[in-house]
Structure 1
Amino acid sequence: METTQTAPSAGKTAVITGITGQDGSYLAELLLGKGYTVHGLIRRSSSFNTERIDHIYQDPQTPGRRLVLHHADLSDGVALANLLREVRPDEVYNLGAQSHVRVSFDAPLYTGDITGLGTLRLLEAIRASGVETRLYQASSSEMFGSSPPPQHEGTPFRPRSPYGCAKAYAYWSTVNHREAYGMFAVNGILFNHESPRRGETFVTRKISRAVARIRAGLQDELFLGNLDAVRDWGYAPEYVEAMWRMLQRDEPDDYVVATGTSATVRDFLEAAFGCAGLDWRRHVRFDAKYQRPSEVDALIGDASKAEDLLGWAPRVRYRALAEIMVEADTRQLADELSGARVRVDR
């Protein structure tokens, strides 16, 4: 097996767009642990949205100078170029996007602008700044759409959502800049990857939170859409390791990251509810509003190339993932209820 070239990381600098998201927070932890200085981009808003990284931003063992947050946006190419000139990063990880597939049908123009054109703005900002850096582009299995599984790096893209279309645009923009300008730019085609930090509107987290609330007697029903959709679910902390490994290679290339294990939404329901000794059929109800106008039936990845060239392999499959998420949401709910009781007692 050929493995990735892992150069010493201490003293390196990285920029992460989307640092406040699931993947961004795990990637920041990984890079800080390797001795990087990390610069994260966050959008300016009237409220804070840094819950996923507060524990490392405020950790006294993580000196503030090693994790720096900047207000910037993928809609502003000039600001991106200025930031790159200032920071001069060794690596850039573009994880920022409107990333909810169902929402992309309701907001297709916004999705195209941020998820698609936002990547092109970042690529052009790198080029305009003149900074020698390596770029990781977060591509998605949703680009494959209706192409039959298993999907690999050579599988044709046939996206079935505005999100998938925008990601395909971003993918080819990355390839084009690599080939036209000699940029070290890679695409990580990541299949579904989840964790306790997954957004609460995504189906796996929606399920794990519901299990915790149903077990606690705070909820009785869970409304979902298509239970027959087949997905390849992995564990997000493992997937950010693959991102980093891609940028340590001698040559840039594109890689599928997946477990190769298929499961329906129904399978995930059974695993998650089973962790709490519950029968999901007693609690789950169908709601048509959660269905997509055009569905992707099956996404199952073949990560052979990543295993051979990056030395990366998944360890957590969907059943273990469901258990991790249900246990985490159960603990979180218990903490919330305990805190509420303390406030009432006072």
Structure 2
Amino acid sequence: MDYQYSCSECGAAFDFSPQLMLCPKCQIFQKDNEPLRGILEVIYNDGNKAQTPDALWPVDAQILQSVPSARSPLWKSEKLEKATGFKNLWLKDDTRNLTGSYKDRASILVATIAKKWNIKEIVLASTGNAASSMAGIGAFWDMNVTIFLPETAPRAKMVQSLQYAARVINVAGNYDLAFELSLQYSEKYQVLSRNTAYNPLTIEGKKSGAFEIFYQLGKVPDYCFVPTGDGVILSGLYKGFYDLYKYGFTNNIPIMIAVQPDGSAAIYYALQNGFFTPIAAQTVADSISVDVPRGGYYALKMLQKYGGKSVTVSDEAILNAQKELSGTTGLFAEPAAAAAYAGFLKMKANIPQDADIVLLITGSGLKDIDSAMHKVDFPKKSIRSLDDLE
């Protein structure tokens, strides 16, 4: 498939290069404490010739699917149906991916391109999931991975990255500082950055979720609830559904719902106000906790263009949704992933009960058991015999 980059802001076209990250024309307008300017999209010059969506990739789709668990299941729960009254409530279960999160989708494409161009090292900043994802995919494909990780990241995610033999550098600060340091590292040592939104392949890789949902349902759903922090999972899904629409595989694009925590809701407020303002993010949902959503302008553009919505949920609602989802379906989601269900519960009164709805469950609860402990009651005593139960 013949492909190139196109700037999502000015429309300028560029030949593909793995080292080209942002539109140089729009980058000159970049300001501090705002989302990235000049995010690039992959466009397919002969996309109309595609016989299936699998042709709409910058690499052979079979290579992307060679990673174990490269495709996640889409399933329903009878118990959840009874609890909510919605018969077509689907769970896109990315806890089943190789490293337990949706971030594998971006990591797989970035690593595939790196292998194709003989690039040996990848660097990124992460609050945890992208780090462990890139580390795991790097281990699978024998690549060196360097991670800049905020020191507040859940230890389970750090342990996962270290188990995969990645080089982990603790950052005495938040994700935004880790992001900047990782960019400095990539420039100094001339290695490939996998930073979310900054590398266009992170958006392109995450469109695979949209393709899978289309294959699994046989159509696109009516609604998708997406946990949203920096906006790149949301953007990737939009890119996937748009490609399906543009090249004639479907006639519509779902209503996308960007679910954000009350304490990390920059995209929600931008959708209401039309502009971004700096925030100091604080939420139990660490995977979607960002001060500056790096993919914010692109995500906002997609929401505005295709009639998307956004909703905020409290940390209490997220933890309650996590517990309810676990007890109702057996699916243990991390807080960020459970936010999708919390957002659905908040909005369900305004959604037709016969609608096809997909909840993006983007990460496993095993990645952050400390947060899950807030809503469980541990046994108060130990016993030596059944008589002690009385």
TM-score bracket relative to the smaller structure: 0.3 to 0.5
- Using structure 2 for the length normalisation, give the TM-score: 0.32
